[in-house]
Structure 1
Amino acid sequence: MHPLTAFFSRSTQIKPSEIKAALTAFLFIFILMASYMIIKPVRDALPSDWGDVTLAEQWTLTFIVSTIAVSIYNVFASKIALRVLVPGVFVFFAMSFTGLYVAYKSGAEVTLLGKIFYVWSSVFSLFHISVFWSFISQQYSKEESKRIFGFINTGASAGAICGPLLVVLLAQSMSVANTLLVASGGLLLTLPLIWKLNIYLNRNGSDAEGNQELSPNPFSGFQELITHKRLLGIAAFIFMFTSISAFLYSTQKNVLAEFSEEKRTFWLGLVELVTNSLTIIIGIFATNRLSRRFGMPVTLSLVPFLVAALILVLSVNPVVLYVLALQVVRRAGNYAITRPAREILFTAVDREARFKTKPIIDVAVYRGGDVFWIWIIAMLGDGYFNLGLSTILCVGAGIAILWGVIGIYLGKKHDADEAED
């Protein structure tokens, strides 16, 4: 065995026979995330020209469009084989961004086009990663996923670093519209990677499964969600996760209000850099060991309980440094530990749940949570109850504890199933 291969295998706990597929999957999600991060700065710059009501309307529209999108996706998933469905999603999004590029160049009304782009790119931001993990989770067993998913997921953080870096390097020579073409080209680059992964992971009949169609019932994904306790638990877990994101996003907005735009940009850029760097380190060296040594209940509940404790500390003195540090802990913990653990849960469900119910949870439930919690926070604050920031943070800490309890339940259920297997 080559010394480099042996070192890589020892560091990541990925077996030599699994390295090619793992590296290909790493590159796959790297390209997906980089493609999104290229257009994310364009999207995030738009709300600065809108009022609070307009932003709330855009979030609500995003939820509605997300629900419609996953419903249409479920219809197509009922009609075509998985081998066509997965690459077809990325081709469709590539074509949609190309269409937006053409609209920009044709002189369409910029304000309306910007709002359409904001909603559609927000749908894309969750949809493409959900389909990626649907594809990957069907290829690995429960035991394999604990060793490999943490490493694969670090590709997303690497892409999150390189995507904005490309934007910065090309900012002077590439227009906003042209970033859409670059993102579109990136999505098309994933097609040969899907083909290679199908070759590397063609085992135990997976090739035959890839050519099969799912249930012809276009509503089966929704039916599984409301009748399957495990899937309802995962949906609740994500719903609670969005609450913490909303609470800390709102807090961050408030504590940064006194700083200049330049200072805000600097601090938030630093948070992105530290978060993604930590995610890569933890994902490569710690995530797989954590889930295998302490089990899924600890892996799924560790970040929620840690965040709950830190929010309580923050409520005593909500200064900007503590808020940003907590954001780093929450986001790095989610990207490196909670997200791969969440994807491991889908190795224990059937193909219907992976390809039909999972996008409903990842996209529609997620965006629904965004809308629900942002309005709850508004009502707790100056919308109705006029609670102070510290009190609102205490409410957030209580929700984080509930988030962790759900994680323990899901983890115990998964470990029990794995023990039976």
Structure 2
Amino acid sequence: MTSYFSKNTIFTGLFFFFALFSLFVLRPFRNTIAADIGTGDLTFYLLIVVVVMLLVNPIYSLIVSRVRLSKLVPSIYGFFILCLCGFYFTYSYLPDIFAVKTIFYVWYNIFNFFVVAIFWAMTVNSFDIEDGKKFFGIISGFGSLGASCGGALVDGFLYDKENLSLLIAVSSLLLSIFFSSHVQRKEITLNTSGDNMLVAGLIPSSALEQFSQIRTNPLIRQFVLYAFVWTCLSTALWFFQLEIINNYTMELAQDQKAIQGLEDEEKLANFLSAEKTRIFGRADSIVPLITLFVQIFLAASILKSKMLGIKFVLTVYGLIFSLAFLAVSGYFSDYLLASSAVLIFLILQGVMRPFEYGLNKPAREAVYTTLNSKEKYKSTVFIDTFTNRFGDASGGLLFNMLFSLGLVAYVAPLAIIPLAIYLMYLGLGISKSVSVVKSK
């Protein structure tokens, strides 16, 4: 048992390392596009992502029911590799077309969450809940190291070389597929025989099975709501961080005009975009290392702790969000690090993301191990893709609604704190449900 899981831990970790490396070598460019779009219009693009996710999830569910699971990662990741090659050639001939960049922004969000969701769907089938508590932190640490390497590469070298980043992402996905093929998993069959044909005989029931799973399993329903609320909070907080970075670059633009005489608007825009990409790359190189520390040295002990455990992690998330929104309010009110925009951005990133990926994500995935095989491959991916994207769009709408109601920048974050308190309540409810499942 020990050698089996040690081998699986290594290969699963390398699988995750290269999956996240491929994401984070492109993520700073995605974040720069988001900052350039602006928080006022960004919600529209997040709604597009929601619609696409709603359309794609039944297709994914049908694929899972029809192909061998050993072919799932090569099939899905291979599709994304083809897309990356398409963006490479498009950027080569249309480098400055903003519409292409917005298409990339929408695509990246889909790419990001399917790559990670499929990784975890495959992984939770190789561990039970106790082994998940022990090993998911270590496996997540491999991913954090890959994310840090990707972010550091952009910060130090690739911040103005998007095409090269696309090619590196392709190579990394190929390596991810290679290491995925070496992970041992339970031999299960997800094929749905004798499906009743729905919608005038066009859609097999296997394509919509995740919806019936949500309806019949109360634990999955609780996770759907939990995922929606935390992603809503996370996106609202991210929008505030984009405002912080945009405020910083506006001041920087004035300084560049005064000091270096950059009056050419195109040159100035390119300079500021590169500066934003470097800031995002810096965060993506530093924050994953903090996350790695949490995953390696804290995750297993906290998740296995009788005093803390999964209950503590799922519940305290709301408190951490509350403190983050208080910090944002302090920044905009000129009382907290008002002159240090990049520093407050890095602090928020350095707290929220390590907790999410170092503790909360492993805790959620450990709970997912208690589900049956079909639920692991379908419902969990639905939660990690559509539900999270719907929460993203809702968080963007919430952010813009608060400002449309006339709230000033330092009051708007305070108005979101009640939703963070509600997240604590949801986490407590899931913890009680898990205790009931374990006792059976």
- TM-score, length-scaled by structure 2: 0.81
The answer for the alignment partner of 2:322 in structure 1 is 308
Cα pair 1:226 1:232 within 8 Å, conserved: yes
Q: Percent identity?
A: 23
Runs of 5+ consecutive residues of structure 2 not aligned to the other structure: 196-205, 253-271, 338-342
Aligned positions of 1:201-280 closer than 5 A = 201=185, 206-207=186-187, 209=188, 212-213=190-191, 216=195, 217-260=206-249, 261=252, 271-280=283-292
Alignment of 1:398 with 2:418, yes or no, is yes
User: In 2, distance between residues paired with 1:169 and 1:249?
Assistant: 24
Judged with a 3 Å threshold, the aligned counterparts in structure 2 of structure 1 residues 55 and 251 are, in CA distance, closer, same or farther, namely closer
User: In 2, distance between residues paired with 1:106 and 1:228?
Assistant: 50
Displacement of 1:126: 0.8
The answer for the alignment partner of 1:116 in structure 2 is 103
Displacement of 1:52: 5.3
The answer for the alignment partner of 2:429 in structure 1 is 409
The answer for the alignment partner of 1:136 in structure 2 is 123
Cα pair 1:127 1:363 within 8 Å, conserved: yes
The answer for the alignment partner of 2:311 in structure 1 is 297
User: In 1, distance between residues paired with 2:29 and 2:288?
Assistant: 20
After TM superposition, the structure 1 stretch with the greater mean CA deviation from structure 2, 244-253 or 232-241, is 244-253
User: In 1, distance between residues paired with 2:162 and 2:346?
Assistant: 29
Aligned letter for 2:419? I
User: In 1, distance between residues paired with 2:328 and 2:234?
Assistant: 15
Aligned letter for 1:345? V
Alignment of 1:334 with 2:356, yes or no, is yes
Aligned letter for 1:194? S
The 3-state SS of whatever aligns with 1:44 is helix
After TM superposition, the structure 1 stretch with the greater mean CA deviation from structure 2, 340-349 or 56-65, is 56-65
2:389 to 343, 367, 381: 367
1:287 to 288, 292, 299: 299
Aligned letter for 1:140? F
User: In 1, distance between residues paired with 2:22 and 2:372?
Assistant: 30
Displacement of 1:50: 3.8
User: In 2, distance between residues paired with 1:389 and 1:175?
Assistant: 35
Cα pair 1:248 1:323 within 8 Å, conserved: no
Aligned letter for 1:357? S
Judged with a 3 Å threshold, the aligned counterparts in structure 2 of structure 1 residues 147 and 39 are, in CA distance, closer, same or farther, namely same
Aligned letter for 2:221? L
Displacement of 1:362: 0.7
Alignment of 1:87 with 2:74, yes or no, is yes
Displacement of 1:343: 0.9
User: In 2, distance between residues paired with 1:171 and 1:273?
Assistant: 13
Displacement of 1:337: 0.5
Cα pair 1:307 1:326 within 8 Å, conserved: no
Q: Provide Cα deviations, 1:215-236, integer angstroms capped at 9, x if missing partner.
A: 7521101221233211111111
Q: Provide Cα deviations, 1:333-362, integer angstroms capped at 9, x if missing partner.
A: 111111111111110111221111222111
Cα pair 2:148 2:286 within 8 Å, conserved: no
User: In 2, distance between residues paired with 1:48 and 1:409?
Assistant: 36
Q: Provide Cα deviations, 1:28-79, integer angstroms capped at 9, x if missing partner.
A: 1110000011122332333455465553332221221222222211121122
Judged with a 3 Å threshold, the aligned counterparts in structure 2 of structure 1 residues 195 and 406 are, in CA distance, closer, same or farther, namely same
Q: How many residue pairs were aligned?
A: 396
2:87 to 83, 91, 100: 100
User: In 1, distance between residues paired with 2:153 and 2:3?
Assistant: 32
Displacement of 1:175: 4.5
The 3-state SS of whatever aligns with 1:289 is helix
Aligned letter for 2:229? M
Displacement of 1:369: 1.0
Judged with a 3 Å threshold, the aligned counterparts in structure 2 of structure 1 residues 168 and 268 are, in CA distance, closer, same or farther, namely closer
Q: Provide Cα deviations, 1:192-213, integer angstroms capped at 9, x if missing partner.
A: 2122112xx5xxxx13x1x552
User: In 1, distance between residues paired with 2:293 and 2:353?
Assistant: 14
After TM superposition, the structure 1 stretch with the greater mean CA deviation from structure 2, 331-340 or 46-55, is 46-55
Aligned positions of 1:373-388 closer than 5 A = 373-381=395-403, 383=404, 385-388=405-408
Cα pair 1:275 1:328 within 8 Å, conserved: yes
After TM superposition, the structure 1 stretch with the greater mean CA deviation from structure 2, 286-295 or 245-254, is 245-254
Displacement of 1:291: 1.2
Aligned letter for 1:287? A
Judged with a 3 Å threshold, the aligned counterparts in structure 2 of structure 1 residues 257 and 182 are, in CA distance, closer, same or farther, namely closer
User: In 1, distance between residues paired with 2:86 and 2:358?
Assistant: 34
Cα pair 1:303 1:330 within 8 Å, conserved: no
The 3-state SS of whatever aligns with 1:147 is helix
The 3-state SS of whatever aligns with 1:197 is coil
The answer for the alignment partner of 2:27 in structure 1 is 40
The 3-state SS of whatever aligns with 2:127 is coil
Aligned letter for 1:304? G
Aligned positions of 1:185-196 closer than 5 A = 185-196=171-182
Instruction: Give the aligned CA root-mean-square deviation in angstroms.
Output: 2.7
User: In 2, distance between residues paired with 1:161 and 1:129?
Assistant: 16
After TM superposition, the structure 1 stretch with the greater mean CA deviation from structure 2, 154-163 or 15-24, is 15-24
Aligned positions of 1:48-59 closer than 5 A = 49-50=36-37, 54-59=41-46
Displacement of 1:299: 2.1
After TM superposition, the structure 1 stretch with the greater mean CA deviation from structure 2, 159-168 or 328-337, is 159-168
User: In 1, distance between residues paired with 2:346 and 2:23?
Assistant: 23
The answer for the alignment partner of 2:133 in structure 1 is 146
User: In 2, distance between residues paired with 1:335 and 1:342?
Assistant: 10
2:377 to 330, 355, 358: 355
Displacement of 1:106: 5.7
Cα pair 1:43 1:121 within 8 Å, conserved: yes
Displacement of 1:214: 5.0
Displacement of 1:266: 6.7
Cα pair 1:295 1:411 within 8 Å, conserved: no
Cα pair 2:35 2:246 within 8 Å, conserved: no
Judged with a 3 Å threshold, the aligned counterparts in structure 2 of structure 1 residues 194 and 390 are, in CA distance, closer, same or farther, namely same
User: In 1, distance between residues paired with 2:282 and 2:156?
Assistant: 18
Judged with a 3 Å threshold, the aligned counterparts in structure 2 of structure 1 residues 388 and 45 are, in CA distance, closer, same or farther, namely closer
